[in-house]
Amino acid sequence: MPQQDPPAGARLLMVEPDLAGQRIDNFLARVLKGVPRGHIYRILRRGEVRVNRGRIRPGYRMQAGDLVRIPPLRTPAPLPPALPPQALFERLQAALLMEQDDLLVLDKPAGLAVHGGSGLSWGLIEALRALRPQARHLELVHRLDRETSGCLLVAKNRAALKQLAAAFRGGAVRKRYLALTSGRWQEGARTVVAPLSRFVSRGGERVVQVSRGGRESATRFEPLERYRDFTLVAAVPLTGRTHQIRVHAVHAGHALAGDSRYGDPTLNRSLAGVGLKRLFLHAQQLEVELDGREIAVEAPLPPELRAVLERLERQE
């Protein structure tokens, strides 16, 4: 193992204007190179990291002039930078949907986490930075679950990150997902309004549930195609909560196909017969305005999900 540097005293850093709008967890991951992301979340939960002398959540977005206290940590001595596998480079290059001077949109493959950590050597953003070392400010604007595929927006500079993050917070980003749900939706389009709360289960897994004291959340579902035991729906999140579409679908009585966390295990096992080996949730469309430009991107349904729908059609 590499020799470790002795822990230093706590540091106090002031947030520069060009970092305003960045999440504190992403900021710490950059500042504390070599520290596992899981450990960063632990020191945040324990209140060891303070902003303006107060505790903050991992999702806190920093403001210009904030004073960030970073506790003394034992960090590993730097190792020579490694490169992601060539196959991952090729996946990312093939996944590029559009690129402009200040942003790019990728069609994130299912199974690829947006961040490394928790046993993962590489996430999408780390691999993208290694693929483009000259791009010094690549940052995720939002996230997709590891199991979800589709449109993922990445900012290429701080100014774009701030504007796009503000658009997400203000509900000015329009997203449309395709999802296969259990059962046949008898009604037409409907909006599920149910507050959501996050908690950690006994097994240490982060779980979301409908809760009276949760955050206001709403998702609009529109049936597109009905099969014998399933319905393909368009899902439009009207708020941006973790696992929102998945939990609201269950709340509506129609769990997502292939959902190992919130779905029906028996039903999921039966879906192996039509070749479904992943969560059937795909971020199909993304629209946002940046500097007066209308950005509109669409990611086609992946071949493995199209094949599932074709097999379901043959069962009719």
Which residues are tagged catalytic?
145
Tokens describing residue 25: 């967890």
Region class of 119: left (phi > 0), else alpha (psi between -120 and 50), else beta: left
Instruction: Identify the DSSP state of 273.
Output: G
Which one, of 163, 177, 166, lies nearest residue 248 by Cα?
177
Maximum pairwise Cα distance, the chain: 67
Provide the Cα torsion 172, 178, 181, 184; round to 10°: 100
β-pairing verdict for 67-70 and 11-14: antiparallel
198 near 181, Cβ under 8 Å?
no
